[in-house]
Amino acid sequence: MIVNYRLILTFLMLNTLMSCNAALGDVEKKNDFINMNEDTIVFGAGCFWCVEAVFQQLKGVISVQPGYCDGKIKNPTYEQVCSGNTGHNEVARIIYDSSLISYIELLEVFWKTHDPTTINRQGNDIGTQYRSGIYCNNDEQLKMAESYKEKLNSSGVWKNPIVTEIKRLDVFYSAENYHVNYYNLNKNQPYCQFVIQPKLDKFRKVFKDKLAD
């Protein structure tokens, strides 16, 4: 039997080209779903259940993930952070669509939904893990937050100076699963009823034009 190696080689080459084109097509399809306006910021403003519940309400916010940052140990647990010995802050990582809500608008919500003048405290939640903080991904976010903070301090909106720490984000650790979507899953829990719900009621009145449908 005479074997036509050229025919076999041509067949193999065609298969390779078809596979490559199919792969490229898959990549192009995946790229169609990439949101070029997607951005991220991390806020600390007391208990992360409260922060999550507030920012979930905003139009343009894609997701909110409670977690920990700015501490001394890797992969901290909730119990370790609550001890106050790790240096971590309870925070929420907010992924948002900048074409629908701007970073400045998020900063406005951040500063108006907690007391940024109290050191290591929000209401009855006391400890370094409840400190006010903005953890930025780049220098532009950092400068804009610092400028906003300076203007607020100059305006005299608060009697005492703002103590919000503003720094570059080092590492963000996601909190345990039972913290995710906490308010929506635990509305009858006392903390949700007496702390988070009043905060949300006030927030919705002030930012009713920015709420998601």
d(CA 145, CA 70): 17
Q: How far is CA 130 from CA 53, 147, 159, in A?
A: 16, 23, 21
Q: Is the CA virtual torsion 71, 76, 78, 82 positive or negative?
A: negative
List Cα–Cα distances, 89 to 4, 18, 34, 95, 174, in angstroms.
70, 52, 31, 18, 12
Task: State the first-to-last Cα distance of the chain, in angstroms, to the nearest integer.
Answer: 72
69 is catalytic: no
| Residue tagged active-site, from 20, 47, 82, 136 | 47
Catalytic residues: 47
